[in-house]
């Protein structure tokens, strides 16, 4: 039986944060949420509480505001932190690099400083497979080189990893896990919570889902001349509930240890863009319209994880299929065609 912890989730109202909040509650942990609501909605909170069957104290704050964070720690004294908060739009990071470096790095540093002040012993960080840049070998294992990222967003994930690793090496009381996510999709199977991108979605699944509901006319498939079986890019899509459960396992693991460990969080299986469109068309019951368009700058042909370390060390493995990922995305999208209600 693992320890029951009080866990602070920065960015806990976002897509991955909200699903992780629910799974932590289901596992018996206490959840405290901090979010500045820049890219999330307050109306997710009652839904998290309903699904998780517990209350979550909520703090509307920016993690870059160290005084506000300090006040939260003084009141709540969390045992552990899962750090989701951060800006995540790749093209925006290219046009506004300083915004991304300041926001994503200052928040990470503030958090580590306040954790040290209050003696908080564990952190799990939302990293990304983007830290591998254009990896040479597939599947990608954790020991492949990182840091040659193709955009400032990716660099902030890499730099945050370095900052956390160095801090864990210096602070003997700190344990850290870096989770490198592949491509999270899907939604809680209730259809009550899901992904709600601001404006026009950049990522594949939210766009496909909005075409399926008729909110957008068609999908543009970026490139059909890649060196892959059908010419479209291959990615490792992972159900957000599997991803959320990886956080629960990572927390159980690190709350009993010190130092810093890194894990890929993927399924190990790649799907092409056309295979995803096909799976989604089956899930929603009608064909999703698409058209081929030129390649998107910065995309690489194929990327998928070697997830063996997470299974061996954490006892975690992704179990939800592509079919399930599409069915759950569709349930969320068709029940909430305009996302969460606006306040």
Residues marked active site are found at 153
The distance in angstroms from the start CA to the end CA of the chain is: 40
Q: 52-56: which pairs have CB atoms within 8 A and are 24 or more residues apart?
A: 52/21, 52/22, 52/23, 52/24, 52/25, 52/26, 53/25, 53/26, 54/25, 54/30, 56/12, 56/21, 56/25, 56/31, 56/32
State how far the alpha carbon of 343 is from the alpha carbons of 21, 40, 42, 121, in Å.
21, 12, 8, 36
Which value, to the nearest 10 degrees, does the dihedral of the CA atoms of residues 168, 169, 172, 175 take?
30
Among 6-14, 28-36, 47-55, 217-225, which window interacts with ligand UD1 (CB under 6 A)?
217-225
Looking at beta carbons, which residue is closest to ligand UD1? 233
In the three-class reduction of DSSP (H, G, I as helix; E, B as strand; rest coil), residue 65 is classed as: coil
Q: Is residue 265 part of the contact set for ligand UD1 (CB under 6 A)?
A: no
Nearer to ligand UD1, 118 or 220 (CB): 220
Binding to ligand UD1 by residue 90, rule CB under 6 A?
Answer: yes
Query: Which residues, listed in sequence order, are joined to residue 59 by a DSSP beta bridge?
Result: 34
The distance of closest approach from Cβ of residue 276 to ligand UD1 in the complex, given in angstroms and rounded to an integer, is: 7
Contacting residue, 116, 141, 202, 281, with ligand UD1 by CB under 6 A: 202
Residues 119 to 148 in contact with ligand UD1, rule: CB under 6 A: 128, 130
**DSSP letters of 100-162?**
HHHHHHHHHHHHHHHHHHHT--EEEEEEEGGGG-S-SSSSBPTTS-----SSHHHHHHHHHHH
Considering only 10, 107, 110, 183, the residue that binds ligand UD1 (CB under 6 A) is 183
Q: Which stretch binds ligand UD1 (CB under 6 A): 9-17, 160-168, 292-300, 317-325?
A: 292-300
Nearer to ligand UD1, 95 or 256 (CB): 95
Q: Does 180 bind ligand UD1 (CB under 6 A)?
A: no
d(CA 108, CA 102): 10
Q: Which residue has the tokens 């939800």?
A: 320
The answer to whether residue 233 forms part of the interface with ligand UD1 (CB under 6 A) is yes
Q: Is 222 in the site for ligand UD1 (CB under 6 A)?
A: yes
| Least separation in angstroms between CB 122 and ligand UD1 | 24
Q: Is 235 in the site for ligand UD1 (CB under 6 A)?
A: yes
Closest to ligand UD1 by CB, 296 vs 324, is 296
The one among 2, 299, 308, 317 contacting ligand UD1 by CB under 6 A: 299
In the complex, the residues that contact ligand UD1 under the rule CB under 6 A are: 90, 128, 130, 154, 183, 202-204, 207, 219-222, 233, 235, 273, 296, 298-299
């Amino acid at each position: 039986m693992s320890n029951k912890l009080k866990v602070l989730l920065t960015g806990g109202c976002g897509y991955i944060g909200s699903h992780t909040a629910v799974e932590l509650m289901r596992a018996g942990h206490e959840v405290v949420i901090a979010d500045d609501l820049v890219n999330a909605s307050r109306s997710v909170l009652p839904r998290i509480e309903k699904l998780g069957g517990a209350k979550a104290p909520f703090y509307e704050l920016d993690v870059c505001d160290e005084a506000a964070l300090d006040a939260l720690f003084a009141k709540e004294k969390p045992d552990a932190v899962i750090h989701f908060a951060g800006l995540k739009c790749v093209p925006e990071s290219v046009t506004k690099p300083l915004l991304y470096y300041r926001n994503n790095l200052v928040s990470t540093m503030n958090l580590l400083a306040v954790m040290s002040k209050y003696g908080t012993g564990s952190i799990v960080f939302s990293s990304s497979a983007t830290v591998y840049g254009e990896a040479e070998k597939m599947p990608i294992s954790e020991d492949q080189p990182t840091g040659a990222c193709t955009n400032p967003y990716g660099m902030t994930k890499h730099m945050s990893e370095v900052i956390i690793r160095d801090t864990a090496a210096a602070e003997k009381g700190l344990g850290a896990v870096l989770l490198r996510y592949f491509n999270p999709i899907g939604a809680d199977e209730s259809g009550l919570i899901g992904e709600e991108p601001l404006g026009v979605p950049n990522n594949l699944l939210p766009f496909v889902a909005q075409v399926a509901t008729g909110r957008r006319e068609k999908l543009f498939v970026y490139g059909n001349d890649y060196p892959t079986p059908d010419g479209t890019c291959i990615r490792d899509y992972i159900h957000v509930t599997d991803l959320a459960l990886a956080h629960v396992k990572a927390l159980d693991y690190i709350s009993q240890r010190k130092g810093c460990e890194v894990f890929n969080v993927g399924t190990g299986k790649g799907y092409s863009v056309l295979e995803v469109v096909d799976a989604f068309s089956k899930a929603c019951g009608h064909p999703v319209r698409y058209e081929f368009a030129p390649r998107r700058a910065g995309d690489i042909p194929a990327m998928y994880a070697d997830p063996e370390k997470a299974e061996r060390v954490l006892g975690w493995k992704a179990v939800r299929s592509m079919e399930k990922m599409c069915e759950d995305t569709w349930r969320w999208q068709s029940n909430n065609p305009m996302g969460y209600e606006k306040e």
